A and B are shown apart, each in its own frame.
Chain A
C-alpha cells in the first residue's frame, strides 16, 4: 500500500506545485525529483517491511537476454551423457526416438561447468555463470510461455518484469527510459506496464533481429533551437496542467505530461548512449562487431552495456528464431555462433568496468526442447525442462543448479518454475517479491502473485 500512498501524494503535491509555481521549465526537474522520491519510497517499503527472510541482493540493474523460440537445452547448457547412449532408440512419446546432441560437451573453468562446443567463447567465462537446468513453465506454446516468462502469467494482462523492476528501483537516470526492449518480437505485453503507471512501460527500440542503431528512434533530433523548444514545451505542459486542473487530476493526462518530460530529455541523452560507434576498436572486436555473423547481436550487447552504464534499469535484448523443429544441426549452430562472441564480450566488458557485480545478466528462452527428435533433425517444444543462466549481479556463479532427469525430459531435482525465478531475480535486486506490490482492482498485486520462492542457492 506504501506505493499507492506515494502515488497519491505525488499527485497531490504535483497539483499544489502546479498551482503555486510559475510555469517555468524548472518544473520538469521538480516533478522528476518527486517521482524519484516516490520510487525510492516504494523500494524502501519493499525492502524494509519485509517479514520474509531478509533480502540481501545488491544488483542495480538487469540485462535480460531473451532467446525467442525455445533454445534446446540438451544441446547447449544441459549436458546429458545418458542421452547419447540411447540415441535412436524409442523415446517417451509414442513413435519418438531419442536424439543425442550433435555437439560435444566439455568442462570449463575452475567450476568445471559442462558447456557445449556451440559456445567456445562464452565457455571462457564459465566461472561467471550460474546455470539452472531445472527451469519449468506451464504451456509449451511460444506466445504464452514468452509472456509468462515476462509477466508471470499468460492468462491475464500483467506488468512485465522490467516494469516491476523499474517500479521497484526507480529510474537511475531521468533522461533515459528506465526500461528498454531492444528488438522485441511478439506481444507488446512482454514490455508492457499493464496496470502500473505508463512511465514504467518498456521503450521499444527496433524490431526483431535486425541491426539497431540510434537512427531507429524516430524523431529524436530536435528541429528547432533549444530556447525555442524550451518555450514550446513550457507552453504545452502549461496547457496540459490546466487541463488536469479542469479534469480533477486525470491519470491519462499525467501520462501525457510525463511522456513530454521524458521525450525532451531523451533527445539529447539517448542518441549518445546508443552510439556504439564511439567505442574503441578493441571493444568493438570484443563484442564481435568485426564479424558479419556476430555484428547485429554484438551491437545490441554493446548498446546494452552503454545503457547499463548510463543508468537504464532494465535492458532486454531479444534474439529470435530458436524454434528448431527442423534443421537443428545448422540453425542452432548459426544462432549460437551469432551470440557466442557477443555474450563473452558483454560479460568480460562488464567485468573490466567493474559493472558486473551490480548488473544481473540473464540468458533464457521461454522453454526448452525435447531430447527426442522431431523429424530427422529437429526437436519439439518442451516446457517441463529448460535451462537458463545468470551472471553478475550477486549471483552465486560457477554452479549448475537443478537436474532435468537423465535425458532432459523433465526437471527432477530442484525444479524452478518461472515464478521462483522471478522471485529470485527480484531478490538479487534487493526487492522482496512479497512486498513489491501495486494496488489494482481492489487488491495488491505482485509479479509473483500468490506464489514464488526465492532460491537462496543462486544468491552469493
Chain B
C-alpha cells in the first residue's frame, strides 16, 4: 500500500489547485467512475434522451433462456483472449456531425448493417451521439479489443464483432430488440445475466437502455469498420474543445503597457510612482479597484528582503549600514537598489538559493523513497549541475532541454557531454518502488513518474492524469499520454542503485568520460581495504553459485519448477544482499582503485534487444533480481486500457501531445526515444505554457505568491491569473530576452511593487483585497528551512559558503544502506564538518531528512512542489529553545560579539545589544528593547548565559523567522 505524500495530497486536492489524482490501476478504476459522475453533472456528459421506444411485452422462449444459462456458464469458465494487433494504428476520432438529427428515419425498416453500406447522416449522428458513448463508457472495458478482453467471447467494439457475437450467438438481431441478447442483458431480464454487472458500474439508466433498444430497432446502424482502440466520443470532443479555451492554452498575447495618467486619489501620479513596466501593470489594476498602496519598505527591511530572496542569506550588519547610508546620503534609491541586485545576482550564493528552488520543482531527493529506501549516491551531481546552471544563467529553455534530452544533444567536448548527461538526472531522481516485482508494472510506473514530473515542472500540466483514462478536465487524451509514455519507455533510466530481494529493480549509474574534468567523490580506500572487500565478495559469489547450482540440479531432478528448499532460499537471500552491498560499494571504485566518475541520468534504449543470459535467469530465479527489463528497446507504448498493464491494446506511435496542432513538426524518428523532440516541443514558440509557468515561478519565488496561484497546475482545475496581461507581457519579455532568468529577477526586484512595505495600510485596502492579489503591499513570508538554518550559521560566523562536492551519504559509501542517523544525529548536538555547509549540500534521503529542515517544511521530494508550506508548530519552538546545535550557534555568536566589543562594562551593554540586533535581525533595537534585554540579566547566572539566552531568543523570535 502506498500513500502519496501529504504534499502531493495538498497539491492535488487543494481547492482550485487540484490536479486529478492518480493511483494504482486497481484504484483508478473506481475514481474514474466517481469523477465521471461529477463531470456528468458539470458538463452534461450524459446524452439526453431524444426518443422513446414503445415497449412491447417481451416474451422469452425457453431456447433463449437455455442460451442465457449456457452463456453464464461460459462466462465463468472461459476468458477469451483477444488478438493483439501488431501494427500501430492511427487514432480514430469520433466523426463530426454537421447538423442536429431530424427524426426522419423510419425505425421500423431495419437496414442491414452487415454490408458496408453508407449510413445516412442521421443514422451516423444517432450512433455517434447516443450509442457510441454508452458502448465506450459502459461496455468496452470488458468487451473490446482495446481492453484485451472479450467476456463471453463477445466484443462490442465493431459492427462486425457485434453481429458475430460471442459464445451465446449474435449480440443483436437488427430490427428486433426483444430477440437481441444484448438488450435482454442490459434490461436485467435475467438476474443471472445482467449487464453491465455491478462491478462495471451496474445497470444502465432507463434512457440509455431505451437508446440502445431503439438503435437495435433502427437496424443497428454502425459505422465502426474495425475495432476501435480509442475511447473517443463526441462528448469527449466537446469537453476537449471546451478545455482548450482555458486561458492557459491560448497563445501569449502582446499586451501594451498601460499608460497611467495622474490619478486623483493617489499621492503620486502614476508616472512618478511607477519605476518600471511591472509597476504600470500593477498600478493600473490598483487604480481600477481603488486600493491604496503601502509605503516603500524601510531600507534595512528592503535589504534583508533582497538578500534572502536572491541568495537565501541575511545581509551583514556592514551591508545594512552601507545600504542605509547610501540611501540616506541622497544616492538615488533606484540606483542603490539596482547595484545591490546586481551584486547579489553575481554572488555564487545566488546559484545555491535559486538552484534549491528548482530542486523543489524537480522533486529532488537522495534515495528511492517508498517501501525500500535505497540511496542515490550520485544525486548530488544533478544538484550541482542545477546550482551551476543558475549561477551561469543558462538560458531557461536550454536548461529544460538539457534535463529532458541532454544526452541526445551534440557536445563539443567530454566536459559538455558529461554535464549534459548529468542534467538528465532530472528524469532519474524521482522516488520509485524499487521493490515492484512485475517488471512491466515497474517500467510503466517509472514512466508515469517521469511524465508527471516533466509536464508539471515545465508546463504546469497534469498529463499524468491521462494514464488510465482521458484527462477529466484538460484537453489530453489517454492517447496523448500513451504517445508520450512510449518516449519514456524507450528511455533507460540509470538511477544507480543495485537490485536484490528487497530491490528487484536495479540500475547502474552512468560512467562519465574519465577526462571530463569533473571532480570525483572524495573517497579514500586503501589498496588493502579494496582487496579485502573484493575477497569477501568473491567468496560470497562462490557460495551463492554453489547453492544455486545445487538448487538448480535438484530442480531439474524433481522436474518441479515451483518447489525449492526454503531454508536454502533464505540463506541465498541473505548472501545475495551482502554481495550486493559490497558490489555497490566497490562499484564506486575502478580496477586500479580510483574513484569512478558516476552520475544518474538517462540514455535511449537500444534498437535491438540484448539476449538474456543464463546467469541472469538463475539470478532471477534464486536471488529475486528482475529477470528482464520490460520494454527493452526503443518502441511505442501499448494503449493500456484503464492503465492496466494486463490489458494492453494497440501500440500508439510516440509523439508529443496533440495540444497546439504541431505534432507533425515534432515527428519522432524510429531510432530515437523522442525525448529531444519532446524537449523542443516543450520549449517551442507555439507552446505558451512553458514561458508562462517559468515566469510565474520566478514571480512567486520573489513575491511569495504567483500571478497564477497554482504554480504547478495551469490546467482548468488551476487558478486564473490575477494579472493576465502582466503575465503575458513578462512571458514575452522572457522569451525575447533569450529565457534570461537573472534579467527577469532583476526586472521584478527593481520594480517598486517588489519594494513596498509589508505593513497593512489603514484606508481599507485590507477590506477590499485581503488576499493582496493586487499587490498593494509586500507579502511577508516565513523563511524557508534552509534559510533559517543557514542564517543562524551565518550569524554565528560558521557558515561555509563554499561549494561542497558530494554528500555525506555518498562519501560514506555505505553501499545500499541509508544511515538513518545522518539526518537525525543532529539532535544529539554533534557538529560534524558537514554541518556548517549550506543546507543544500546536506544529505537529503527521502523520509530521513535532516531534522531542522524537515521541521521547517522542506519538501520530501515526492512530487513537483513549486510552493513550500510554512507552518508554525510547537516542535519548531522546542527545536529553537532546546536543541544543542542551536545553542552552539548562539554561543558562537556571543563569542564573536565579545571579540568585537570586549569591554564588559555597562557602557558597552547597549553597544552589545545593538550589535546582536543588527547581526540577527538586521536592524537596531527600537523603543524599550534594550530594557527588555536587561531582564535577561536579572539572574544569578553568569552574564555569558544571559547573552546566549538573548541570541537564542532572537533566533526564536517571529521577527527572525519572518521576512517582511
Chain B residues in 8 Å Cβ range of A142: 1-3, 23, 27
B878 on the A face (CB < 8 A): yes
| Minimal beta-carbon separation of B883 from chain A (angstroms) | 5
Given the known inter-chain contacts A139-B31, A383-B30, please indicate yes or no for A231 contacting B932, CB distance below 8 A: no
Given the known inter-chain contacts A219-B883, A231-B938, A239-B932, please indicate yes or no for A144 contacting B957, CB distance below 8 A: no
A235 nearest in chain B by CB position: B953
Chain B residues in 8 Å Cβ range of A225: 941
Q: Which of B46-54, B194-202, B740-748 contacts A (4 or more CB under 8 A)?
A: B194-202
A240 nearest in chain B by CB position: B958
- List 26 A-B pairs, Cβ < 8 Å: A23-B932, A68-B3, A92-B198, A140-B30, A142-B27, A155-B13, A157-B10, A189-B10, A198-B872, A218-B851, A218-B875, A231-B936, A232-B956, A242-B929, A243-B962, A246-B759, A252-B872, A256-B961, A257-B958, A258-B872, A259-B877, A263-B878, A264-B877, A264-B881, A321-B1, A410-B198
Residues from 186 to 229 in A contacting B, C-beta threshold 8 Å: 186-189, 198, 201, 203, 217-225, 227-229
Chain A residues in 8 Å Cβ range of B962: 243, 252-253
Residues from 932 to 953 in B contacting A, C-beta threshold 8 Å: 932-933, 935-936, 938-939, 941, 945-946, 949-950, 952-953
A208 nearest in chain B by CB position: B847
Residues from 45 to 104 in A contacting B, C-beta threshold 8 Å: 68-69, 89-90, 92-96
A255 nearest in chain B by CB position: B872
Given the known inter-chain contacts A142-B1, A250-B780, A323-B1, please indicate yes or no for A259 contacting B872, CB distance below 8 A: yes
Q: 8 tightest A-B contacts by CB?
A: A186-B3, A323-B1, A141-B27, A93-B199, A263-B877, A187-B6, A188-B6, A263-B874
A357-B752 Cα distance, complex, nearest whole Å: 63
Please tell me if the beta carbons of A189 and B199 are within 8 angstroms of each other in the complex.
Answer: no
Chain A residues in 8 Å Cβ range of B31: 139, 141, 144
Chain A residues in 8 Å Cβ range of B2: 142
Please tell me if the beta carbons of A235 and B14 are within 8 angstroms of each other in the complex.
Answer: no
B851 nearest in chain A by CB position: A218
Chain B residues in 8 Å Cβ range of A92: 197-199
A349 on the B face (CB < 8 A): no
Please tell me if the beta carbons of A90 and B76 are within 8 angstroms of each other in the complex.
Answer: yes
A238 on the B face (CB < 8 A): yes
Residues from 610 to 649 in B contacting A, C-beta threshold 8 Å: none
B563 on the A face (CB < 8 A): no
Given the known inter-chain contacts A147-B13, A243-B958, please indicate yes or no for A139 contacting B949, CB distance below 8 A: no
Given the known inter-chain contacts A218-B879, A225-B941, please indicate yes or no for A409 contacting B34, CB distance below 8 A: no
B16 nearest in chain A by CB position: A156
- Other-chain residue from A217, A320, A381 in contact with B27 (beta carbon distance below 8 A): A381
B871 on the A face (CB < 8 A): yes
B959 on the A face (CB < 8 A): yes
| Minimal beta-carbon separation of B62 from chain A (angstroms) | 23
Please tell me if the beta carbons of A235 and B27 are within 8 angstroms of each other in the complex.
Answer: no
Chain B residues in 8 Å Cβ range of A189: 6, 9-10, 13
Please tell me if the beta carbons of B27 and A140 are within 8 angstroms of each other in the complex.
Answer: yes
B398 on the A face (CB < 8 A): no
Dominant SS at the B interface? helix
Known: A219-B875, A219-B882, A267-B882. 4 other contacts (CB 8 A): A143-B23, A220-B882, A260-B877, A260-B956
Please tell me if the beta carbons of B932 and A238 are within 8 angstroms of each other in the complex.
Answer: yes
A221-B200 Cα distance, complex, nearest whole Å: 57
A177 on the B face (CB < 8 A): yes
B927 on the A face (CB < 8 A): yes
Q: Could you tell me which B residues sit within 8 Å of A by CB distance?
A: 1-6, 8-10, 13-15, 18, 21, 23-24, 26-28, 30-31, 34, 75-76, 79, 142, 151, 197-200, 758-760, 780, 782, 827, 851, 871-879, 881-884, 887, 927, 929, 932-933, 935-936, 938-939, 941, 945-946, 949-950, 952-954, 956-959, 961-962, 964
Please tell me if the beta carbons of B878 and A235 are within 8 angstroms of each other in the complex.
Answer: no
Chain A residues in 8 Å Cβ range of B877: 256, 259-260, 262-264
- Other-chain residue from A23, A187, A260 in contact with B3 (beta carbon distance below 8 A): A187
A94-B74 Cα distance, complex, nearest whole Å: 12
Please tell me if the beta carbons of B875 and A154 are within 8 angstroms of each other in the complex.
Answer: no
- Other-chain residue from B75, B759, B932 in contact with A94 (beta carbon distance below 8 A): B75
Given the known inter-chain contacts A94-B151, A140-B27, please indicate yes or no for A157 contacting B13, CB distance below 8 A: yes
| Minimal beta-carbon separation of A321 from chain B (angstroms) | 6
Centre residue among B6, B780, B939, B961 by max chain A CB count within 10 A: B6
Q: Could you tell me which A residues sit within 8 Å of B by CB distance?
A: 23, 68-69, 89-90, 92-96, 138-144, 146-147, 154-157, 177, 185-189, 198, 201, 203, 217-225, 227-229, 231-236, 238-240, 242-243, 246-248, 250, 252-253, 255-260, 262-264, 266-267, 320-323, 325, 380-381, 383, 409-410
Chain B residues in 8 Å Cβ range of A201: 871, 873
A138 nearest in chain B by CB position: B34
A259-B946 Cα distance, complex, nearest whole Å: 23
A219-B883 Cα distance, complex, nearest whole Å: 6
Given the known inter-chain contacts A228-B945, A266-B878, please indicate yes or no for A146 contacting B3, CB distance below 8 A: yes
- Other-chain residue from B758, B827, B875, B953 in contact with A203 (beta carbon distance below 8 A): B875
A239-B925 Cα distance, complex, nearest whole Å: 11
Please tell me if the beta carbons of B759 and A247 are within 8 angstroms of each other in the complex.
Answer: yes
- Other-chain residue from A143, A220, A250, A257 in contact with B9 (beta carbon distance below 8 A): A143
A23-B932 Cα distance, complex, nearest whole Å: 9
| Minimal beta-carbon separation of B716 from chain A (angstroms) | 15
- Other-chain residue from B21, B197, B954 in contact with A144 (beta carbon distance below 8 A): B21
Given the known inter-chain contacts A228-B939, A255-B872, please indicate yes or no for A187 contacting B759, CB distance below 8 A: no
Centre residue among A147, A201, A222, A236 by max chain B CB count within 10 A: A236
A251 nearest in chain B by CB position: B872
A320-B371 Cα distance, complex, nearest whole Å: 13
| Minimal beta-carbon separation of B103 from chain A (angstroms) | 36
Please tell me if the beta carbons of A219 and B23 are within 8 angstroms of each other in the complex.
Answer: no
Chain A residues in 8 Å Cβ range of B957: 236, 239-240, 243
Chain B residues in 8 Å Cβ range of A259: 872-874, 876-877
A63-B29 Cα distance, complex, nearest whole Å: 33
Chain A residues in 8 Å Cβ range of B851: 218
| Minimal beta-carbon separation of B79 from chain A (angstroms) | 6
Chain B residues in 8 Å Cβ range of A229: 881
A141-B76 Cα distance, complex, nearest whole Å: 27
A248-B758 Cα distance, complex, nearest whole Å: 11
A90-B142 Cα distance, complex, nearest whole Å: 16
A255-B939 Cα distance, complex, nearest whole Å: 29
Chain A residues in 8 Å Cβ range of B873: 198, 201, 203, 259
- Other-chain residue from B3, B18, B26, B881 in contact with A155 (beta carbon distance below 8 A): B18
Please tell me if the beta carbons of B959 and A239 are within 8 angstroms of each other in the complex.
Answer: yes
- Other-chain residue from A23, A89, A198, A320 in contact with B871 (beta carbon distance below 8 A): A198
A231-B21 Cα distance, complex, nearest whole Å: 49
A234-B933 Cα distance, complex, nearest whole Å: 10
Chain B residues in 8 Å Cβ range of A248: 759-760
A188-B946 Cα distance, complex, nearest whole Å: 38
Please tell me if the beta carbons of A235 and B935 are within 8 angstroms of each other in the complex.
Answer: yes
| Minimal beta-carbon separation of B861 from chain A (angstroms) | 16
A227-B941 Cα distance, complex, nearest whole Å: 9
Please tell me if the beta carbons of B15 and A157 are within 8 angstroms of each other in the complex.
Answer: yes
B926 nearest in chain A by CB position: A242
Given the known inter-chain contacts A92-B199, A256-B958, A263-B877, please indicate yes or no for A186 contacting B945, CB distance below 8 A: no
Chain B residues in 8 Å Cβ range of A243: 957-959, 962
Please tell me if the beta carbons of A220 and B936 are within 8 angstroms of each other in the complex.
Answer: no
Please tell me if the beta carbons of B927 and A242 are within 8 angstroms of each other in the complex.
Answer: yes
- Other-chain residue from B4, B782, B932, B949 in contact with A224 (beta carbon distance below 8 A): B949
Please tell me if the beta carbons of B958 and A94 are within 8 angstroms of each other in the complex.
Answer: no
| Minimal beta-carbon separation of A370 from chain B (angstroms) | 9
Given the known inter-chain contacts A90-B76, A232-B953, please indicate yes or no for A143 contacting B4, CB distance below 8 A: yes
A92-B192 Cα distance, complex, nearest whole Å: 10
Chain A residues in 8 Å Cβ range of B27: 139-142, 381
A187-B10 Cα distance, complex, nearest whole Å: 8
A383 nearest in chain B by CB position: B30
A191 nearest in chain B by CB position: B6
